[in-house]
A and B are shown apart, each in its own frame.
Chain A
Amino acid sequence: MQLSTLQTLNSVRAARQAAVVVSDLSDGGSQVFPEGGPLPPMWEAAIGEALRSGRPRLAELGGRSLFFNVHMPPPRIVVIGAVHISQALARLAPVAGFDMAIIDPRTAFATVERFGGVELLADWPEDILPARPLDRYTALAALTHDPKIDDYPIRAALEAGCFYVGALGSRKTHAKRVERLSQAGVSAEETARIKAPIGLDIGASSPSEIAVAVLAEIIEALRRRDLTGQQGEAK
């Protein structure tokens, strides 16, 4: 592989774009094709299929043995709320291979002392998300309990097709949330995608245990997402 091909691939990956690398096993040539870019007609179908399925594969095309490798953006978690659960999640998420960022406009909560080593954005989600949009490879966990802070990013995450959207709160709190979102024009199909109460039901009690339950639910959503239709869409 040429260094320039590798550099292109790494910069595409850093920009959180999907890409397919086509390697010719006979002559060692390889080319990188970022998602949305122009494709050679002969490989268009194979590259499109690789991007849709997320699965790399070998193929014989035009008398050549080719390997189509797929690089999807690494999943990340955006947490709304610099709370106790987020502190535990900030330690666990990198271990499981996720990038993580925390957004909370309450500067008393969002302090570097409480969240060393994780990206911390002490501002309103409304002010941050337009410049750093959520995407299909992002999980959103809304953990503040406060509709003023949580509601906007939940809507943004549903619109962006985040593979996971979870919100903290009891069933009663969540029913009120669904009512607010419905009144704001969010469809029932969309609100049904919100995982609430948040986290797998493992009887979690402490903030750390709830963080484990949330992370496990995010992993489940990532690994069991529907690959046949919209990539990244949670089932």
Chain B
Amino acid sequence: MLNQPNVLDPLEIVETWHKEGRAVALATVIETWGSAPRPVGSHLAIDSDGNFQGSVSGGCVEGAVIAEAADVIASGVPKVLEFGVADETAWRVGLSCGGRIRVYVERIDG
């Protein structure tokens, strides 16, 4: 009932950041299989300096999503990223819990 903006809300954050003149992207979990740490619909707000708020996993793949978001912010072309089980030998980014997720990353324009 308090009408103050929620400082942890990625959708409010991404709007605020855009108003401040920062280039921003929004990442959204669009599909999950098996054990996924964050449900479909979860958001992560990212700016071009790599600042972020929210989450699309329990911290497993945020780094990779933020790196890809830099491309999306530069090009304006949205991307769908897929992450599966972490491959320990190759040090590949992935989900240690064994699930798979798809994440949609889009730039906020206007």
Task: Assess whether B108 is in contact with A3, with CB atoms less than 8 Å apart.
Answer: yes
**Is A123 in contact with chain B by the CB < 8 A criterion?**
no
Complex Cα distance, B11 from A13, in Å, reads 10
B40 touches A99 (CB 8 A): no
Report yes or no: B11 in contact with A119, Cβ–Cβ below 8 A: no
- Write the nearest CB–CB distance from A38 to chain B, whole angstroms: 23
Q: Give the residues in chain B near A124, CB-CB below 8 Å.
A: none
User: Which of A6, A9, A58 has its CB near the most chain B CB atoms (within 10 A)?
Assistant: A6
Contact of A28 among B1, B11, B31, B106 (CB under 8 A): B106
Contacts of A9 in B (CB 8 A): 11
Report B-chain residues with C-beta under 8 Å of the C-beta of A67. 28, 30, 104
Are A25 and B30 within 8 A (Cβ)? yes
Listed stretches B12-20, B46-54, B57-65, B88-96; interface member:
B12-20
Cα–Cα, bound, A223→B85 (Å):
28
* A76 on interface, CB distance cutoff 8 Å: yes
Residues in A neighbouring B108, C-beta threshold 8 A: 1-3, 6
Contact of B3 among A10, A14, A23, A57 (CB under 8 A): A14
Q: Which residues of B contact A6 (CB under 8 A)?
A: 11, 14-15, 18, 26, 108
Report how far A7 CA is from B109 CA in the complex, Å: 12
Does A1 lie within 8 Å of B2, measured CB to CB?
no
Interface pair B41/A56, CB less than 8 Å apart: yes
Q: Which of chain B's residues 1-44 have a Cβ closer than 8 Å to chain A?
A: 1-3, 11-12, 14-15, 18, 26, 28, 30-31, 40-41
Beyond A9-B11, A67-B28, is A4–B41 a contact (Cβ under 8 Å)? Answer: no
Q: Contact: B1 with A69, CB < 8 Å? A: no
Chain B contact residues (Cβ within 8 angstroms of A): what range? 20 to 34
Please count the residue pairs between chain A and chain B whose beta carbons lie under 8 angstroms apart in the complex. 60
Interface pair B110/A28, CB less than 8 Å apart:
no
Give the Cβ gap from A2 to chain B, nearest Cβ, in Å: 5
Check B99 for interface membership: any CB of A closer than 8 A. Answer: no
Write out, one digit per residue, whether chain A residues 1-44 have a CB within 8 A of any chain B CB (1) or not (0): 11110110110011000000001010010100000000000000
Are B80 and A25 in contact, with the CB atoms below 8 A? yes
Q: Report A110-147 residues with CB < 8 Å from chain B CB.
A: 119, 132
CB distance from B55 to the nearest CB of A (A): 14
* Contact of A1 (CB < 8 Å), options: B1, B26, B41: B26
For this complex, 16 residue pairs linking A to B, each with C-beta atoms less than 8 Å apart, are A1-B26, A2-B108, A2-B110, A3-B109, A6-B14, A6-B18, A6-B26, A25-B30, A25-B104, A28-B78, A56-B30, A56-B40, A57-B40, A67-B28, A69-B28, A76-B1
A residues at B contact (CB < 8 Å): 1-4, 6-7, 9-10, 13-14, 23, 25, 28, 30, 55-58, 67, 69-70, 76, 78, 99-101, 119, 132
Closest 3 CB pairs of A and B: A3-B110, A56-B41, A28-B78
